Structure 1
Amino acid sequence: MASSSSATSGALSLGSIPPAGADLETTWKFLESGIDHIMCRLQAGMSYSTYMSLYTTSYNYCTQSRIQGHVGLGGGGEGAGKSGASLMGSDLYNKMTKYLINHLMSVREGAESLVDEELLQYYAKEWTRYTTGANYIHRLFAYLNRHWVKREKDEGRKGVYPVYTLALVQWKQVFFNHIQSKSAKLANAVLRLIEKQRNGETIDQSLVKKVVDSFVSLGLDETDTSKQSLDVYREHFEDPFLQATEKYYKHESDAFLSENPVSDYLRRAEERLKEEEDRVERYLNSCTRKTLILKCEDVLIRGHAETMREEFQTLLDFDKDEDLQRMYALLARIPDGLEPLRKKFEEHVKKAGLSAVVKLVGEPGAGGAAGAGAETLEPKAYVDALLEVHRKNSETVTRSFRGEAGFVASLDKACREFVNRNSATGASTTKSPELLAKHADALLRKNNKVAEEQDLEGALNEVMVLFKYIDDKDVFQTFYTTKLSKRLIHGVSASDESEASMISKLKEACGFEYTNKLQRMFTDMSLSKDLTDQFKARMEQSHPEDSDMSFSIMVLGTNFWPLSAPTNDFHVPKDILPTYERFKNYYQAKHSGRKLTWLWNYSKNELRTNYLNQKYILMTSSYQMAVLVQYNDFDTLSLDELVNATGVGKEILTQVLALLVKAKILINEEKEQYDLNPNFKSKKIRVNLNQPIKAEVKAESTDVLKTVDEDRKYVIQATIVRIMKARKTMKHQPLIQEVISQISQRFKPNVSDIKKAIDTLLEKEYMERVDGTRDTFAYVA
């Protein structure tokens, strides 16, 4: 017996289950004993059969079909007209309510003298035990919940809940409200614990989470218990928590900035924001995240935004990438936080670009004139300086500002400013496109050092980086076309693949029309090669005696090649006259109606010396060749005699002769008298005498810009006609704006030029003024 007693000493004994039809007192006495055990000991020592006997007792009482003896307690007159089952349910519900109130009063007493973490530990422990027990009891009264509670709620009775919800309501009213009424004792204890954590102390985060979760669980929707309300959480915890957070970080950030540099504050603010994000994940309700982070951003970032921005320039100047990344990430979190930085960055880039050019050419002169070194400026040095500024700041945008569109726009705007207007360009908008085109020309020539030192394709891509910022793309186009024509004529292109690649890049940037002439030039080169081969084959048959003279001829379309005919009346030397005449006749027979204009100023020749012991091959221009062949018949000639013999103007010929004298082919010991040098010597067998003539180089730039001006007139007129044809009628100012909009990708048109074009089109009757108006035009079909 002793053994048996020992084995069952921890088990719960409730006695015999009340019979069906037992009265309220008998029934409740049996239920209360089991309920009390559950609420205090969480089913410890309770068998499944015991638990089921409690369930059966509750079920039996709620399903009685008639009143046993007297009206149930708590039913009162309210029960009149209702069924016995209804009254019995009411009695049982009232008993359960009174039990919970009494139970919670004893729990409340245990918390009276506790504060801070001890209070939280007690609260969390009791909350866990209470809610777990309430869950078990809720299932004991399943029938009551499904039938009596449901019926009461359906009939509109207030203050009736399923048993688990009833338990939460009582916890809130009896225990929670009492503690909170004492200077928000519970919430303040939580806030003090959180502040300890913010100060670097380790806290029991699971304890905070349990307490905070209880605030959420106590949010009950009185009208619909299936819904969760956050009113209790917000009123008793979230609102004071946010106020405490604002106060804490305002004090901390002010104190920190007064003693530490801004770069350290950026790190601190970044860490604090991450901590608060983590705090939400660990023990706050997710609904608090947005409000909490906005509050922290307001205090930590917006409150010190101006101080951060004042440091921005210093960070840029000293390339403090990590600090820039932090400042960007922080200020990006507040509305309009980045705009002041974008403006400062734009000014920084612009200043860097202008300074880079000043280092090359010096400060700009008076009235916006170019710097002193602008005339001798090397295109490569200029382009490299601009690219370095772009590269460095583009990396900053990518690395520090995450490639954000606003900073990309600031970079582009600044680059457009210093690329088009700087101390090398002065007031001219054509200088940058000219230098960029010349740099591209140098890249695409044979044996250029730039292409040897680095990847040519990469160098061409860098040209396109600056090309994007050029305002006057038509100036670049015309210079580029002129340079390309010379590369093709003189056979000095690095490769056809590189030429095609560059044209493809320009086409992608500006469209088919922009590169149409460039592509037609290559077509002409191919056709010219075929034509030369055909002519040579004909000559080998009909004039084999001339086989010792090799030649090639290029026939180029006037509309596609930017080539100007010589202004002098060049005399074709007798040595090449037969070949010249034969080709002219051959071509005119093949293409009747076409006129050939001979461009001697672009032609080149090779001569072999026969008057020296050493044989040399002299590479010359046609003008140099025309001079030198005169010395087949004479040893000395005057300037006037050479002018008459060659037909080349005196100004050009003087420079031609100066190059020959410099190379020591000719001797100029007497004024305007030129002798053949019988003692000429050179280390090279092939001697290149064909050097650019200054007058021709200067004329090239002048001619290009003149061509650009003429082309612009027609482009503006054609654009106006196209717009008017589509719109039929248009006012003066909108028309000008539309023209600028359509042309600006090609060049920046002057309003005065647009007005002149309108006047020209009015004169030509492409358009007319609308009767009765001063500023409205109509298209004339």
Structure 2
Amino acid sequence: MWASKRPGPPAGGHQKKLIIKGLRSVPTLPATYKADTLARLQSAVQAIQTSQSTAQGFEELYRDCESLCLHKFGSDIYAMLQGELDRHAQQQLQSINAQPVDSSTDTAVLEQIQKFWTAYIQQLGMIKCVFLYLDRTYVLQTANTASLWSMGLSAVRRFLIDTDMKSRLIRLIIGEITKERNGKAVDRAMLLSLVNMFVELGLYLPFFMPSFIEATHEYYQRESRRLVGSLVPTTVTPRAQTGSSSGPMDVPQYLVHVKRRLDEESQRASNYLGDGCKTSLLSTAQAELVEKHTDRLLSFSFDAMADAHMLADLANLFMLLDAVNRLDALKKHWASYIKKTGLRLVQAPELNVTLVTELLALKQRLDIILSKSFRNNASLMYTLSESFGEFINTRRNKPAQLVAKFIDQCLRSGSKISTDDDLDKLLDRVLVLFRFIQGKDIFEAYYKRDMAKRLLYNKSVSVDAERMMLQRLKTECGAGFTKQLEGMYRDMEISDDITAKFVDLQQAQPTEDIGFHAKVLTLASWPTYEPLGLVVPRQVEQAQDSFFQFYGSKHKGRNLQWQHGLGTCILTVNFDEGPKDLALTVVQGTVMLQFTQNDELTYTQIRNNTGLEDIELQRILQSLACGKHRVLTKEPKGRDIAITDKFVFNAQFKSPLVRIKISQILVKEDDKEDKDVEEHVQQDRMLNIDAALIRIMKARKTAEHSALMTDLVNQLKFSTSSAEVKERLDILIERDYMKRDESDQAVYHYVA
């Protein structure tokens, strides 16, 4: 009891008091309230489970649940709900599971389970709404008590596990997936619902997933063994890709089939299996379809696919092998293919004429495969470079010689290359081949010889092209590599200046009408040429003497030696048809000038007048009397030149051209020059080996043979054989530069 005082009345009035008294008796619940309320709630739960209407509204049921919870009867409600959920789940699932195990009823069982699960989830949601107050008070305040949703799921989970119905369901679901893999239509929505049921019940990872992955493993193991075991050879023209796995396949078709299978599995995981199994599912399929058969697939078809340039199929192969980390096997077959294909080209002497073109085409084809099919993989790119360099150097000096000759053809006037842009692109591609060549000194020797001919005979396609090529070589190999080549260019430029001054001087002192242009070549920069001993005409001899005096007045102490075999001239010859300008070499021109006074000369007379040796003279006469443009006639007729032959000036010679170029007849001249170049390079190589050995021994003082060989290989810019090194070692020992150890012949000592 308590009292509250209020402000008193006005002065002179009486104060009032408010008195509150306690209840005389405590109110009590009716005796049957708990039982009646639980019965109403239980009846409502059963009505919900049987999809019938409840006697009371959901709000009234909610108030009943709330009232019982407030009167501390939450445990009774929870026990009632647990019993009803267990009973209902057991009753429904037992009825479904009682159906006989028969393939004809498998789909019906899955449909019933899916129907049960869909209804059960909806019913459980409604029950949770009715008993929400219980879920938020009693359940939260009581330890080790599951939520109403978890309790409902546990009822289904316990039955599936206790009766082993889960195994039957897993088997049936996997059976449906297998049907879909075999091309049959299945109810994906039903499968999605069933898989979600396993996920909700917590049965997916511990039970469904392992069984499904094992079934996938067995399925693709059987399929891959069947298909790979019946592979047919890959044809140059691939057969139509039908996507069917019923008949025999070649490897490209098999790869398409595998790719389709993986796409199907990826879509299957996205559609109803869940992304959680996607990685394991694809890994299992890839392992069985690709990884275990990698070696057979590569050995059976890689060469044929690469030969046929099957870019899409090679891209499929790369993608699949990359996914299973088997690029090591692809790298091995890639290297083997490059070496085998390259060796077939390099080791075939009959392909010498077209070898560089064939190698360029091969490199371009391999580059396309690398970029479009292998995505410019760094490891495969390195393998391409390594393998290309290995096979191209198996034929020691020939590739270097042929590359130099190919560049010479590109840079010569009259080349079939249409534009400067095309020429630059082609030279850039050739430079890639040049990088693979180990014998750079051989290339330099041949390039130097060919460049000299282009410069001396004015055969370069353009000065800019020559300079750009020199710049490429300088960038690639350094200034030392192109020093002599650049010296040749400087000589040509200086010669033009000297000749211009000489011509100006000659014009001030008129002489016979003869044009004269001399090129002064520095002996150290140019190839070595043997003088012919040609007896030139009087006019030419006078011009030479004048130039000699002019040059001697400008440069004291220099010795000039005339190389008539390198010179060219233009003679204006009067034929019956009219005058023609003949573009000739100086030697050809000298022979033609012999017919100035006499229209007919014998072979002996020409030889005596020119001082030429028989081999050279026969070659010149053959070009003038037996070639395409016969400005001389020979008696008797025939292609061979004999000492007894007579030669007559052909005044009746006719040609629609005003200027006619008469080419020389090359009688194995190139073979002799090639031999001289290789001998010269070989001599230089031996000197380089000697110098490198002495440098190493001078630094080491004492060296074991294997260590000496290692250091030597690192210093040399060309490949050498052990026999060549042994020969040079013996020579150096004989010359007392070094000696062998008395106790160990494999050890060398430097002799100071």
TM-score w.r.t. the length of structure 1 is: 0.72
CA distance in structure 1 between the aligned counterparts of 2:373 and 2:502, rounded to whole angstroms: 64
1:211 aligns with 2:206: no
> Does the 8 Å contact 1:250/1:299 carry over to 2?
yes
Unaligned ranges ≥5, structure 1: 1-18, 62-87, 153-159, 220-231, 359-363, 365-369, 422-427
1:117 aligns with 2:111: yes
1:700 aligns with 2:673: yes
1:167 aligns with 2:151: yes
Cα offset, 1:487, TM superposition? 0.9
CA distance in structure 2 between the aligned counterparts of 1:616 and 1:473, rounded to whole angstroms: 45
Aligned pair count reads: 684
CA distance in structure 2 between the aligned counterparts of 1:50 and 1:497, rounded to whole angstroms: 101
Aligned residue for 2:498? Answer: 531
What amino acid does structure 2 have at the position aligned with 1:194? Answer: I
Alignment of 1:131-150 (within 5 A): 141-142=135-136, 148=141
- Do the aligned partners of residues 301 and 779 (structure 1) sit closer, same or farther apart at CA in structure 2, a change above 3 Å counting? same
Alignment of 1:223-302 (within 5 A): 232-254=203-225, 260-263=247-250, 264-302=253-291
Which of 560, 568, 571 aligns to 1:607? It is: 571
> Does the 8 Å contact 2:85/2:155 carry over to 1?
no
Aligned residue for 2:177? Answer: 194
What amino acid does structure 2 have at the position aligned with 1:536? Answer: V
Cα offset, 1:484, TM superposition? 1.5
What amino acid does structure 2 have at the position aligned with 1:697? Answer: D
CA distance in structure 2 between the aligned counterparts of 1:168 and 1:518, rounded to whole angstroms: 92
Cα offset, 1:241, TM superposition? 0.9
Cα offset, 1:276, TM superposition? 1.3
Alignment of 1:269-668 (within 5 A): 269-302=258-291, 304-305=293-294, 308-309=297-298, 311-312=300-301, 325-336=315-326, 339=329, 370=349, 374=350, 379=353, 381-389=354-362, 391=364, 395=368, 429-449=396-416, 451=418, 455-464=422-431, 466-507=433-474, 509-541=476-508, 543=509, 545-546=510-511, 548-561=513-526, 563-571=527-535, 573-609=537-573, 614-632=578-596, 642=606, 645-662=609-626, 663-665=630-632, 667=634
Q: Deviations over 1:141-183 (max 9, x none)?
A: 446677x46xx6xxxxxxx25636853773466444335x246
> Does the 8 Å contact 2:514/2:539 carry over to 1?
no
CA distance in structure 2 between the aligned counterparts of 1:497 and 1:51, rounded to whole angstroms: 100
Deviates more, 1:456-465 or 1:698-707: 456-465
CA distance in structure 2 between the aligned counterparts of 1:598 and 1:419, rounded to whole angstroms: 40
> Does the 8 Å contact 1:215/1:233 carry over to 2?
yes
> Does the 8 Å contact 2:124/2:152 carry over to 1?
no
- Do the aligned partners of residues 234 and 482 (structure 1) sit closer, same or farther apart at CA in structure 2, a change above 3 Å counting? same
What amino acid does structure 2 have at the position aligned with 1:488? Answer: L
Cα offset, 1:568, TM superposition? 4.2
Cα offset, 1:237, TM superposition? 0.5
Aligned residue for 1:67? Answer: none
CA distance in structure 1 between the aligned counterparts of 2:181 and 2:661, rounded to whole angstroms: 81
CA distance in structure 1 between the aligned counterparts of 2:298 and 2:608, rounded to whole angstroms: 75
Cα offset, 1:470, TM superposition? 4.2
CA distance in structure 2 between the aligned counterparts of 1:20 and 1:649, rounded to whole angstroms: 149
Unaligned ranges ≥5, structure 2: 1-25, 97-108, 231-245, 637-641
Cα offset, 1:486, TM superposition? 0.9
Q: Deviations over 1:224-261 (max 9, x none)?
A: xxxxxxxx433210111122222333444555666621
Cα offset, 1:501, TM superposition? 3.9
Aligned residue for 1:130? Answer: 124
- Do the aligned partners of residues 539 and 285 (structure 1) sit closer, same or farther apart at CA in structure 2, a change above 3 Å counting? same
> Does the 8 Å contact 2:412/2:461 carry over to 1?
yes
Q: Deviations over 1:448-470 (max 9, x none)?
A: 33558994344434534544554
What amino acid does structure 2 have at the position aligned with 1:711? Answer: D
- Do the aligned partners of residues 653 and 190 (structure 1) sit closer, same or farther apart at CA in structure 2, a change above 3 Å counting? same
CA distance in structure 2 between the aligned counterparts of 1:189 and 1:702, rounded to whole angstroms: 82
CA distance in structure 1 between the aligned counterparts of 2:81 and 2:179, rounded to whole angstroms: 39
> Does the 8 Å contact 1:444/1:495 carry over to 2?
yes
- Do the aligned partners of residues 733 and 461 (structure 1) sit closer, same or farther apart at CA in structure 2, a change above 3 Å counting? same
CA distance in structure 2 between the aligned counterparts of 1:768 and 1:216, rounded to whole angstroms: 84
- Do the aligned partners of residues 535 and 190 (structure 1) sit closer, same or farther apart at CA in structure 2, a change above 3 Å counting? same
- Do the aligned partners of residues 634 and 730 (structure 1) sit closer, same or farther apart at CA in structure 2, a change above 3 Å counting? same
| Other structure's SS at 2:584 match | strand
- Do the aligned partners of residues 306 and 626 (structure 1) sit closer, same or farther apart at CA in structure 2, a change above 3 Å counting? closer
Q: Deviations over 1:479-536 (max 9, x none)?
A: 2221111111111111223333444444555455444443443333333323322333
| Other structure's SS at 2:571 match | strand
Cα offset, 1:271, TM superposition? 2.0
What amino acid does structure 1 have at the position aligned with 2:643? Answer: K
> Does the 8 Å contact 1:353/1:415 carry over to 2?
yes
Q: Deviations over 1:108-145 (max 9, x none)?
A: 21111213331133124424543686599678644667
Cα offset, 1:741, TM superposition? 5.2
| Other structure's SS at 1:619 match | strand
CA distance in structure 2 between the aligned counterparts of 1:406 and 1:581, rounded to whole angstroms: 66
Aligned residue for 2:706? Answer: 733
CA distance in structure 1 between the aligned counterparts of 2:569 and 2:594, rounded to whole angstroms: 15
Alignment of 1:48-59 (within 5 A): none
How much is the aligned-residue C-alpha RMSD, in angstroms?
A: 4.8
What amino acid does structure 2 have at the position aligned with 1:261? Answer: P
| Other structure's SS at 1:112 match | helix
> Does the 8 Å contact 2:42/2:81 carry over to 1?
no
1:185 aligns with 2:197: no
> Does the 8 Å contact 2:587/2:620 carry over to 1?
yes
Q: Deviations over 1:317-340 (max 9, x none)?
A: 76666555545544554454772x
Deviates more, 1:466-475 or 1:137-146: 137-146
Aligned residue for 1:106? Answer: 88
CA distance in structure 2 between the aligned counterparts of 1:586 and 1:32, rounded to whole angstroms: 136
> Does the 8 Å contact 1:601/1:622 carry over to 2?
yes
Cα offset, 1:26, TM superposition? 7.5
Which of 632, 639, 651 aligns to 1:679? It is: 651
Cα offset, 1:106, TM superposition? 1.8
Deviates more, 1:325-334 or 1:109-118: 325-334
CA distance in structure 1 between the aligned counterparts of 2:494 and 2:44, rounded to whole angstroms: 108
> Does the 8 Å contact 1:434/1:479 carry over to 2?
yes
- Do the aligned partners of residues 239 and 592 (structure 1) sit closer, same or farther apart at CA in structure 2, a change above 3 Å counting? same
CA distance in structure 1 between the aligned counterparts of 2:362 and 2:207, rounded to whole angstroms: 57
- Do the aligned partners of residues 204 and 183 (structure 1) sit closer, same or farther apart at CA in structure 2, a change above 3 Å counting? closer
Aligned residue for 1:72? Answer: none
CA distance in structure 2 between the aligned counterparts of 1:419 and 1:125, rounded to whole angstroms: 75
Q: Deviations over 1:666-704 (max 9, x none)?
A: 756683565552635241443333525426433321222
CA distance in structure 1 between the aligned counterparts of 2:110 and 2:363, rounded to whole angstroms: 60
Cα offset, 1:727, TM superposition? 7.3
